[in-house]
Structures are given as structure tokens and as C-alpha cells.
Structure 1
Amino acid sequence: MTPIKADIAVVGGGLGGVAAALAALRRGRRVVLSEEYAWLGGQLTSQAVPPDEHVWVEQFGVTASYRALREGIRQYYREAYPLTDAARRDRHLNPGRGRVSRLCHEPRVALAVITKMLAPHLSSGRLTVLQPHVPVAAATVDGTVRSVTLRHKETGEETTVEAAFVLDATETGDLLPLTGTAYVTGAESRAETGEPSAPEHGDPANVQSIAWCFVFDHVEGEDHAIERPADYDRWRALAPGFWGDAMLSFTAPSPRTLEPETRTFNVNPPYATVGRDEAHGDDPGDLDLWVFRRIAARETFLPGSLESDIVLANWPQLDYLGGSVIDTPDREEHLRAAKAQSRAFVHWLQTEAPRPDGGAGWPGLRLRGDVVGTDDGFAQAPYIRESRRIRAMRTVVEQDVAVALRGHGRPATFPDSVGVGMYRIDLHPSTGGDNYIDVECAPFEIPLGALVPVATKNLLPAAKNIGTTHITNGAYRLHPVEWNIGESAGELAAFCLDRSLTPAEVCSKPELVSRFQAVLVEAGVEIHWPEIIGY
């Protein structure tokens, strides 16, 4: 079959991949974008997780195109949903009124907005989207990736894409081993990185847990309990030593104190003002599991529109600790087990979970596959927190961003910044048996050097696979940061093509860095945090 030719191949259609494709397309480049799952958007859509964002997101600290995505989601609700008058007038509409974010929403609404953003480029013919495709091979000569071979997940048919630049936006950095790009996995040792939170001994298989999320509502008086899973007793007995109870419970360690903490679960509670004003303060917002990641609140819509709130479950009890899905022959088994753990938790919620009235279980909890685009109510894809990471010209370490180590909370700056982000270093319990690692983090910048591999000349990371460590990945992995990484990678590829440069050449010359930063700023990428004094 004749190869598809493009200026830029973006492999992986998560948030970083979509942002990278849009950035390259607005520069007039021809792009091939591939994605493994049915929905583009990754953690926001196929993984079903509403955005984790910083406290200033409504004012600053994200790119213009990410802000357009957020506002597009709100506008979709205003145009298509029966909102109350108060909700329709709310400039900062939060359809789910969840506590994790100022914008908790259904994943398919984000998909609709992403589809709209890409539509004109599909019509122009400059964008080709291949779904559902996974990368299976690559041809690399003298450090230059000549082509990538993609396989259709259902038919097995293979397609080869030849491009001047290849961007790896897959969830686990799948192009890195295929292209011979140097990379790191898991936890580096303290001796290697100097990070106080790093373990004494490194372990490539020690990664943050994955979670297989699901969406549900509650119909009073009906029985929607799923059949008891055959392996239910296995999961019912699972109780890691640091957990404080069985994982099938409402108990989990507090990320901040590491002490076991019992959450509440109030089904369809009456309206209360939610949305954290102090998103990175002492209250992480997760003490009640129902409202934490609620994605559609009844009070947002006209009376009678929803029988029940709609809730996304992405809770500690779903964290799969059984093994890494990176560089292992057991990947598929771990994926099946992660989903099995979540299925067992659903059954426990429906049949055994302690209710406030003294009873057990909510059989009226109903899985909502229609909301996530599946038959069973579980997300199309697992929620991935950690990827392979390139060996980069600059690796961000804990000392760069941790407040305690820097002695202040002012922004962590880099002279070659290509974007900004903000989140605590938030590592979930890991496959190596670690409890949470939670470190207060300053607002940070994204150094260009973290996007440039030490050797491969025309491959760029465009997701969670940049030059971070196991520790700092915990802050650089969230939705708006991934989008910013992808957008800057797409811009960098176009910048290099326009000037016959390599990313390493741009990174190594301050005058080229400045010129590239000017291009980013013109495109609406914030490369520095504002200085705020007083009120």
C-alpha cells in the first residue's frame, strides 16, 4: 500500500495530540493524526475524566486554544441543554458542580467541541484522522524517523505514514521504543536525580497506578445491580498495608497526611455551593465521593430534566496496584485486572456499601454506558497517569518546582519556557507499593529542553512523555499542561520545518529560543506567570 505522506504525523489523539495537530494545522501544515480509541481527547473523553486544573484557570495560566476548548464546552451546554436561567447566565458555568474542577462535564460534550475544532481542517484536506489505530513499527535512520506504521485495531490492516516530523502523543510514549528514542520509565533513584521524594533505589516498573473509570446515576426504587463478578472475593479481600481497610470500602489514605480517611457517599444530595476557591489548600475536595467528580448536577438543568445527578468515578479505590502496563508482556492482563477491580467496586457499591440509614448497598446505582460511549458503563480507555519519558536536553526535577526546596512559592521559571502549568506533585499509590507522594508545588513553566530528545532528531513528545522524573510527572501530567505541551510541540515542529532547523538547534541557541517564544506568544501560549501584587 502506498504510504500516506504528511508534514507532521501526530501519533495519539489525546489532549496533547489534538492540541499538537491544531497548532501545526494553523501553520498550514499537512497533518496525520492517529488515535487508538473511538473518541479523540484522551483523558478528557475516552478516559472520561473531567479536567484537573489550577485555581486561577478562569483568569490566566492556560493557552488561548485550551481556553477556547473550555468555553466551547460551556457554550455547547448553553445551546443544547435545558439549563436553568441562573446556570445559563453563569459566566463560569460548571454543569456538574463537582469539587475537583471549575468545569465538570460529560465527556461526550468535550468530544463534540474537539470535533468542531478539527472540522475545518478535515474539510480542507490538510488533516487525516486514522481511528482506531495503534503504532506497531517505525523506520529510523541515523536518528531521524522516516516512517511510522499503524495498525487498525479491528481489521489488522496496516498503514504507513511518512512525515518530516513525528510527534508521540500516545498515553504511554509508545513511539519511543519503536523509534529507538532514549527514554526512562518508572521511578529514578534519589542518587540519580537528587530528589528528596525519590526512592533510594530506582525501579523502572514502579509507576503510578492506573484506574478504569465508570459513570453512573441513581434511580430510586429500581434494581440495576450487576451480576456478582466471578473474581469478586479476590478484590473483596484486597487490603494494602497502608490503606487502612479493604480497597472495596469508603476508606483510603489521605494524600496529604497518608492517614486512612473514610469518605462519605451521599446519593443525590440537595444543592450546596461547591467548587473549590482554594484548589490547592488543605481541602482536596474529595471527602464526599458523589460530588467530587459529579459531571451533571440536577440543579444545573430545568426541573425534570434529570432523574439523578450523573457522577464520574475516579476514586482511590479504583487505583490498580497490580503492575505496570509499560514495557511488560503482561500489559493486557493488567488492563483486564484494572477493569475487573472497578467492576468489583461497582458491585460492592450496589450490594454491600454502608448507607447512612444503616442499610447496605444502592441497587439503584445505574451504569451509564451511553455517557461514555460503551455498552457496559466503563470508560473506553484506562486513566493513565504516567508514561515513558524521553531522555531530554533538560529534565525537570523536584528541586526546580517544590516550594519547600526552593524556599518560596513564586513561579518556577526557565529561560526557554514554552508554557505554564500549576498542580501539586500528586503521585497516586504505585505499582511498587508506595503510598501517595504529595508535595506542594509552585506555579511552573515548561522548559523547551524538556521537549527535545537527546538524540532523535525529528521526534517530539506531545503528552506526558516529556523530560520529567517520576516525581515531577505528578505535576506535569494534568489536562491543561498536557494540552500546552502538545500545542508547543506542534508549533515547534512547524517552526523547524519553516526554517530547516532541528529542535536541538533551536534549543541550543538563545536567539532561536527567543524567536520561537515570540511565535508561541503570538499564538496565545502563556510562557510566563503574571506577577500579582496586592489585590
Structure 2
Amino acid sequence: MNQLQTDVLVVGGGTGGTAAAIQAARRGAKTILVSQWSMLGGMLTSGGVSAPDGNELAAFQTGIWGAFLRELNHRQPQGLDNAWVSFFTYHPQIGANIFADWVKAEPNLLWIPEQQPLEVIKQGNKITEVRFNSCTIHAKIILDATELGDLLELAEIPYRWGWELKDQWQEPSAPIVLSTLMKTTPVQAPTWVFIMQDFGENQIAPEIDIPPIDTPELFTNAWKNYDIESFLNYGRLPDNKFMINWPIQGNDYDQNLDRLIGSSSERLQFWQESFYHSLSFARFIQTKLGRRYGLATGIFPIENRPNFNTNPDILSAFALHPYYRESRRIQGLTTIREQDILPIQNGYTASLPSSPPFQGGWLPSSPPF
């Protein structure tokens, strides 16, 4: 097994981990970025959410985030304004290619894809090494950027998971007591995102297979209060494709969520059920809207991923992993609360300006990131 040493090790290739690795390398630190998947970008790429809930982000176009938006605009000639859930949508592979190109351009940064953290080595209360499938890496600084905080579990570092009541941190929006839903759903339900396509009038898309677990009755009122165009245009992408991440009786999956932080076999079982749930929703959509609509092919890699279906045309329409909205949370030396960061009464943050200096559109120029 390879033994590597570096200044900074970032475990996890989502947007946060990738940005941290890039900036560490640019500051002169020898950096290694290890990702579980072949696509960098996490929820924005390998997780399939290429139509982020982002209309409120129009004014925040600086730093790496702003550079990402401008590069998307450059690489996707069809434009970014396609859906109503966000002011920008794009093909997932374009986003992943941007992150990969940035990482490969940094001489101080080594990216090792398709590796899972298996063990950590500690000296006192500090993690000094992480063992992966094919290598062990020793680093002065190690960042846990995994989607679910997996290094916390491996290192037996105390963490929080789930709801916190108002009397714990006095956060204004926290619940006073747990409702029945909160007790059964400790975190927001993940979603296995998939991409569909309008094949065109008088065209017949391949029929979507019936999954081993098929539950069409769960989706009966999915777009009850929306017309079909609104449903499809929620996450519309270029080239008559649609990101399906539908929150109303759609492909969110909330059954026994604690399995996500259980054993590897428990997480895999949750993944499989979530995948079948989304496949069932895809078939429901096709059944209701007609064979003009089907799964888009060739969107995601089919190698080195959970293989819950043997049909590559189905597999390549589904993200590599579920879209997570919450993770383990470390019990740190200091806890940042809602009132520490939001401009609320009795809080510690100044009110937002009444006239923002910039509203919408693309910044004509921005400082280097």
C-alpha cells in the first residue's frame, strides 16, 4: 500500500472540500484531495443537483463561487437561465469538469479519486493519518469534507445528528418540542436525483423498467397544484433535459434515516431503497406524461458506483449518490448559533443594508479568486 505525506489532506471532493484544497494549494501548502467519486463537486455534480435552489444567490458572485458561475456561463453556450427554481442550471458533467480542471492546474495539489476512508490514526486528540483503499496518507492538517462527516465516526469524535430544541441553544427558529415528524425524520430526507429528457413530439422513449420496489401510489399528488410545464420546468436543463429533485410527494426518501450513520451495509441498504424509490418515480412520470419522456442517457459515469441496476442507460441517468441536506455535526470547542450569524433582534450581526449594492445579473468583473 502506498504511503504518502503532505501538509494538508482534504478527505471529500464536494464543493467545500474542493474549494478548501484549491485554496490551501494556492497558499503554498502541499495538498492532497481524496474523493470517493470520479466527479468533483459533490451535490452540484455527482449528487445531480445541477439546478440548485439558488435564486437568492444571484448577488453572491465573488471568490470561487463567482468564478464557477462565470465558467459555467462560458462553457454552456445554451445559457444558464432555464428553470424557475434557480437562476442557473447546467449539465452536471460540465460542473465536474470545471472543478477537475481547476484542481489539475494547481502544482501543489494532488487529486486521488475513487477512494473511501477506512481508518484513521491519531496521536492524542489529533488525526495524523487516514488509510484508504489503496494508500495511507500522513498530513499535518486533515480536513473532513465527506458528505456525512465520516472521519468523525472513524476517529470517535463526538458529533451531533438531528434536531436540536430551542432550550439547548436559544435559537429563535428551533422547535420547542419534537413533533411526530421530527421524531421519525431526524434530518431532512435525502433525494436520489435523476435526469429525464423530452425526446420530442411523436417520439417514443425507451420504457423505464419496473424497479424491485415500485410504489406509484406514493406519487399520486406529486404535481397536484402545478401544471405539467411548471413541474418539468422546476429543474429544466439545456437540451430538453430535466433535473428531477421534486419535493412534493416526489423522490425524497425518509425511511429509517439513522442508517446513513450506521454500518456501511446499513447505508448501502438505504441507498438501494432510495434509488428504487426514485426509479419508481421516474416510471410514474413516464406513465402519466407518456413515452415522449424518458431517462436521459450518458449523464453520469456507470463505473465505480453503486450498481443497483444492470441497464447502463438507466444507471447513467441517476446521480452517483443521494443528495444530502444534512450531515453529522462536530461537537466543537465553540458552537456557532443562529443569532451569531443572522441579523435578528438581540443577535450579534448588523442588519443587512436596505439598498444592496448589486442585484441580479452577472458581475462585469470580479477580484481574482
TM range (shorter): 0.7 to 0.9
CA shift at 1:263, angstroms? 2.5
Residue 170 of structure 1 and its aligned partner are, at CA, apart by 0.6
Q: Which residue of 1 aligns with 2:76?
A: 77
Match in the other structure for 1:346? 282
Change (3 A) 1:35 1:378: same
Tell me how far 1:33 sits from its aligned partner.
0.7
Q: Contact 1:188–1:203 at 8 Å: present in 2 too? A: no
Q: How many positions carry a matched residue from both structures?
A: 332
Match of residue 391 from structure 1: 331
Take 2:193 and 2:209, find their aligned partners in 1: how far apart are those partners? 18
SS in 2 for 1:32: strand
Q: Partners in 1 of 2:120 and 2:368 — Cα distance?
A: 32
Query: Is the 8 Å Cα contact of residues 339 and 348 (structure 2) preserved in structure 1?
Result: no
Alignment of 1:248-397 (within 5 A): 248-251=220-223, 262-266=225-229, 288-296=230-238, 306=239, 309-316=240-247, 317-324=250-257, 325-329=259-263, 330-351=266-287, 353=288, 361-374=289-302, 375=312, 376=314, 377-397=317-337
Give yes or no for contact 1:8–1:164 (8 Å, CA) kept in 2. Answer: yes
| Distance 1:100-1:386 versus aligned 2 partners, 3 A rule | same
Q: Which residue of 2 aligns with 1:277?
A: none
* 8 A contact 2:10–2:34 mirrored in 1: yes
TM-score (norm 1): 0.58
- Does the aligned pair in 2 maintain the 1:185–1:388 contact within 8 Å? yes
**TM-score, structure 2 as length reference:** 0.82
Q: Work out which of the residue numbers 157, 171, 181 in structure 2 matches 1:181.
A: 157
Alignment of 1:490-505 (within 5 A): none
User: CA–CA distance in 2 between the matches of 1:110 and 1:412?
Assistant: 36
- Identity among equivalent pairs (%): 25
Partner of 2:308: none
- The aligned residue for residue 29 of structure 1 is 29
User: Is 1:247 aligned to residue 219 of structure 2?
Assistant: yes
What displacement does 1:334 show? 1.0
Residue 141 of structure 1 deviates from its aligned partner by: 1.6
In structure 2, the residue matched to 1:460 is none
Q: CA offset at residue 54 of structure 1?
A: 4.9
Structure 1: unaligned runs, 5 residues or longer: 84-92, 152-157, 238-245, 252-260, 267-287, 297-305, 354-360, 415-441, 445-521, 525-535
| 1:204–1:341 distance in 2 versus 1, CA, 3 Å | closer
Alpha-carbon spacing, 1:174–1:62, altered in 2? closer, same or farther (3 Å): farther
Compute the RMSD of aligned alpha carbons.
2.7
Match of 2:20 in 1: 20
Q: Which amino acid aligns with 1:106?
A: H
**Alpha-carbon deviation of 1:163?**
0.2
Matched with 1:5 is 5
The alpha-carbon distance between structure 1 residues 228 and 394, as it changes in their structure 2 partners (threshold 3 A), is same
Shift of residue 112, structure 1, vs aligned partner: 1.7
Distance 1:348 1:398, change over 3 A: same
Distance in 2 between the 1:373 and 1:319 partners? 22
Paired residue type of 1:159: C
After TM superposition, give the deviation of residue 373 of structure 1 in Å.
3.1
Q: Secondary structure at the match of 1:135?
A: coil
1:210 to 180, 190, 195: 190
Seen in structure 2, the aligned counterparts of structure 1 residues 132 and 347 have a Cα distance that, compared at 3 Å, is same
1:41-120 map, 5 Å: 41-50=41-50, 51-55=52-56, 57=58, 59=59, 61-78=60-77, 83=78, 93-94=79-80, 97-120=82-105
Mapped pair 1:150 → 2:132: yes
CA distance in 1, matches of 2:220, 2:169: 36
Q: What's the CA shift string for 1:55-95, capped at 9, x where partnerless? A: 353x4x354121111111111124xxxx5xxxxxxxxx42x
Distance in 2 (CA, whole Å) between partners of 1:250 and 1:289 is 9
The verdict on how the C-alpha distance between 1:350 and 1:194 changes in structure 2, with shifts beyond 3 A counting, is same
**Structure 1 counterpart SS, 2:269:** helix
Question: Offset of 1:203 from its aligned partner?
Answer: 6.0
- State the distance in 2 between where 1:366 and 1:326 align: 30
Structure 1 residues 179 and 102, CA gap change in structure 2 (3 angstroms) = same
In the TM superposition, what is the alpha-carbon distance from 1:336 to its structure 2 partner? 0.7
Q: Secondary structure at the match of 1:3?
A: strand
Q: Which one-letter code corresponds to 1:118 in the other structure?
A: V
Query: What is the rounded CA distance, in whole Å, between the counterparts of 1:349 and 1:401 in structure 2?
Result: 41
For the residue of structure 1 that corresponds to 2:284, the secondary structure is helix
Q: Any stretches of 5+ residues in structure 2 without a counterpart?
A: 303-311, 354-366
**Separation in structure 1 between the aligned mates of residue 184 and residue 10 of structure 2, nearest angstrom:** 26
